[in-house]
Amino acid sequence: MKIALVGQPNCGKSTIFNSVAGYRAATGNFPGTTVRLAWSTIRFDGLVAELVDVPGIYSLTSANPAESAAKKFLLNEDISLIINVLDASLLSRSLELTLELRELGVPVIVCLNMMDEAERRGTRISSQQLSVLLGLPVVETIGYRGVGVRELFRQATSQISQPPGPAEFIRWHRDVESSVQQMQDVIESTSHGHRLPSRFLAIKLLENDDDISLEAGPGTNDAAARLREHLEDLRGRPAESVIMSERHDRAMKLFEHSATVTRPRHDPRAALDSLLTHPLWGYVFLAVILVGFFWAVFGLGSLLENAISGRINLFTVYLLADVPKGGLEHALIAGLMDGVQGGAGIVLPYLVPFLLGLAFLEDVGYLPRVAYLMDGMLHRIGLHGTSMLPIILGYGCSVPACMATRILPSKRDRFLASVLATLVPCSARSTVIFALVAFYLGPMWALGIFCFNALVVIISGWLLARVWPEISAGMILEVPRYQWPALSMLARKVWLRLREFVVLSWPLLIAGSLVLGLGTYWNFDHYANLALSPLTMILGLPVVLGTTLVFGVLRKELALIMLAQALGTASVATVLSATQIIVFTIFITFYIPCLATLVAMVKEIGKKMTALAATYTFLLATAMGVAARLILPLILGV
């Protein structure tokens, strides 16, 4: 049995999903956080069901891959119940989707979410009245506080196997209704045998929906074309827009009959927004927020690193005190401790504050404002503001960033955005920058690398946009309200992302460190380094770093840990010059995305494009590394 959570983007579906299923689906305060279906088995009052979190859709007509995945799921799967989540503060608009879902012939229960927000806006909704008019049960909830969620699922269990009955109130105007009826007759006369109700099919055919008309026979499609023409003659505009305004009209009527609007309470967020989207101050604050974010992460990170790293070092020294140097045992213990130290002492101190900060920015709802502010500049390089969302998410991790490109309608935009998102330093690479460059050379250098990276990303975007010229469709992006994130939500979100590091990459890191330790012991790494020596040579790096770069493909943090291991010392600055540290960091930052990202990219943009992107990033990294190697000594004057 399947229960689907369906609603318009950013109405809080995933929040409700998480409050029942545990924190499984990422949430965020921007439209399009969920780009794929999330499943979870739930038990409620002895009932076992699959709860499915469906990506947000405005209507059952899709514009991008995330939406079409949702539509395909709703039309083809055997769903027992739809929980239609509505943002109560945007009631009339949200009801348009409800009216469409109602036609699917599946039991629907309406969940009026964000009731507190509606009240603040001065909208009083009578859910009883709405329930009567719609002919559907209505439950009020405040998702992020968990209010009403229990009641929602109690209602849901009683609604299963009760498809919506006819509701007189939502019938359309007579001329349109008669066209729908005629279409319905045609469909029924051809004994379509379709799972979906004939009324739904009739409406979709009149809307000229490609997915449905592909399945219909030629006779049905001819009739549909005739009726569309008829509607166009009647109303003087395309049939699709006639149906849409009919739905809009009904939704407005429903709103008028079930809600009263009073004066909205004063909202301080409006003042904040007018400051943060100001044509001048908006950019100043953007810079301040980003630089502040950087300083906070570095400050906290280096504080933690000093505290933790020192302790672990002492422990390692204590462990190795009695072990003879140069033996197998020594290599093993040193390798193991290097891995532990790398994870706890170097990666985690920077990763945790970084993820926390990013989660905060996401949940507050600042990201769509960044998209708004940057749209003008991005247009210049041939992208639009919506592409900014995946690119910013790329600072967290490239994998969800690649998946987030699904909110972009055009294939070319998806390719560009995913390449740029992988060029941006993800949290792992930021850790490398923080722990190597900022720690040894000072934070200004690290900031310089971030700026340099941004510049390269911009130039790459400009270049790639010219290699594949196409008109960006232009941005249409809903900018959500600010929302103060609940602390527990933030913690769970950070944990969701951190878990991957702790469970997957840390063990890998320790194992890698052990392998490298043994390799050094048996001199295996010598051959690997030899094979990679052309690369290390043109980059001007010590030959021993060859294997390190290979480990970097597995996971970028590994390169950092392996660096210490390969050099045989944790204090890198004693062995490498400033130039070498920077060249190494730049190369790690830009070259081939890590394995997990490559897999995600293949899924999103295909093998060929991924190979192209990987080659491009590798060449770019080498070029940048060599350039840095040649230019930096001149500036440093060493």
Partner 1 sequence: MRGEAPSSSSLCGRKHPRVLPTCCIRALAGLVSTLILSMLARNRLFVGSRWDKLKCKDMLWTPLRVAKSGGTKKVERSDEPSTLTLDRIRAGQEVKVVQIVAGQSAARQLAQLGIRAGATLGVRRSAPMGGPILVDSGGSMVAIGRGMARKVRVQTLA
Closest CA to 156 of 67, 255, 42: 42
Using rule CB under 8 A, residue 293 touches partner 1: no
Name which position in 274, 488, 533, 615 contacts partner 1 (CB under 8 A).
274
Using rule CB under 8 A, residue 567 touches partner 1: no
CB-based contacts of 461-469 (< 8 A; 24+ apart in sequence): 461/378, 461/381, 461/382, 461/383, 461/416, 461/420, 462/380, 462/381, 462/382, 464/415, 464/416, 464/419, 464/420, 464/616, 465/381, 465/382, 465/383, 465/416, 466/382, 468/412, 468/415, 468/416, 469/382
The Cα 325–Cα 512 span in angstroms is: 21
The Cα 567–Cα 165 span in angstroms is: 73
Using rule CB under 8 A, residue 278 touches partner 1: yes
Residues 622, 587 contacting (CB under 8 angstroms):
yes
The Cα 624–Cα 609 span in angstroms is: 22
Provide, rounded to whole angstroms, the least separation between the CB of residue 244 and partner 1.
6
Using rule CB under 8 A, residue 578 touches partner 1: yes
- Which CB atom, from 474 or from 507, has the smaller least distance to partner 1? 474
- Which CB atom, from 135 or from 409, has the smaller least distance to partner 1? 409
Using rule CB under 8 A, residue 59 touches partner 1: yes
Residue 4 three-state SS: strand
From residue 411, give the alpha-carbon distance in Å to each of 37, 391, 416, 467, 468: 21, 16, 9, 14, 11
Name which position in 298, 366, 415, 445 contacts partner 1 (CB under 8 A).
445
Q: Which of residues 99-138 bind partner 1 (CB under 8 A)?
A: 121
**Apex 326 CA angle, 321 and 328, nearest 5:** 90
Using rule CB under 8 A, residue 542 touches partner 1: yes
Name which position in 209, 246, 363, 375 contacts partner 1 (CB under 8 A).
375
Provide, rounded to whole angstroms, the least separation between the CB of residue 451 and partner 1.
6
Using rule CB under 8 A, residue 425 touches partner 1: no
Region of 165 on the Ramachandran plot (φ > 0 left; ψ -120 to 50 alpha; else beta)? beta
- Which of these ranges, 129-137, 379-387, 417-425, 608-616, lies near partner 1 under the rule CB under 8 A? 379-387
Using rule CB under 8 A, residue 637 touches partner 1: yes
The Cα 309–Cα 226 span in angstroms is: 75
Using rule CB under 8 A, residue 540 touches partner 1: yes
Name which position in 137, 425, 480, 517 contacts partner 1 (CB under 8 A).
480
DSSP conformation letters of 515-558? HHHHHHHHT-HHHHHHHTHHHHHHHT--GGGHHHHHHHHH-HHH
Q: Which of residues 446-465 bind partner 1 (CB under 8 A)?
A: 447-448, 451, 455
Provide, rounded to whole angstroms, the least separation between the CB of residue 386 and partner 1.
9
The Cα 16–Cα 143 span in angstroms is: 6
Residue 138 three-state SS: strand
Closest CA to 370 of 234, 480, 501, 505: 480
Provide, rounded to whole angstroms, the least separation between the CB of residue 635 and partner 1.
5
Provide, rounded to whole angstroms, the least separation between the CB of residue 331 and partner 1.
24
Name which position in 34, 56, 96, 392 contacts partner 1 (CB under 8 A).
96
Using rule CB under 8 A, residue 68 touches partner 1: no
- Which CB atom, from 8 or from 34, has the smaller least distance to partner 1? 8
Q: Which of residues 140-179 bind partner 1 (CB under 8 A)?
A: none
- Which CB atom, from 285 or from 506, has the smaller least distance to partner 1? 285
Residue 244 three-state SS: helix
Using rule CB under 8 A, residue 376 touches partner 1: yes
- Which CB atom, from 57 or from 351, has the smaller least distance to partner 1? 57
Region of 172 on the Ramachandran plot (φ > 0 left; ψ -120 to 50 alpha; else beta)? beta
Residue 137, C-beta contacts closer than 8 angstroms, at least 6 positions apart:
109, 110, 131, 155, 159
Using rule CB under 8 A, residue 241 touches partner 1: yes
- Which of these ranges, 225-233, 347-355, 543-551, 630-638, lies near partner 1 under the rule CB under 8 A? 630-638
Name which position in 477, 514, 532, 621 contacts partner 1 (CB under 8 A).
477
Using rule CB under 8 A, residue 76 touches partner 1: no
Name which position in 26, 86, 90, 95 contacts partner 1 (CB under 8 A).
90
Name which position in 279, 324, 325, 608 contacts partner 1 (CB under 8 A).
279
Name which position in 137, 143, 343, 368 contacts partner 1 (CB under 8 A).
368
Using rule CB under 8 A, residue 205 touches partner 1: no
Using rule CB under 8 A, residue 568 touches partner 1: no
Using rule CB under 8 A, residue 377 touches partner 1: yes
Using only C-alpha atoms, the chain has a radius of gyration, in whole angstroms, of 28
Using CB under 8 A as the binding criterion, the count of chain residues that bind partner 1 stands at 78
Using rule CB under 8 A, residue 58 touches partner 1: yes
Using rule CB under 8 A, residue 266 touches partner 1: no
Residues 506, 343 contacting (CB under 8 angstroms):
yes
- Which CB atom, from 188 or from 267, has the smaller least distance to partner 1? 267
From residue 622, give the alpha-carbon distance in Å to each of 5, 99, 186, 585, 589: 47, 56, 64, 12, 11
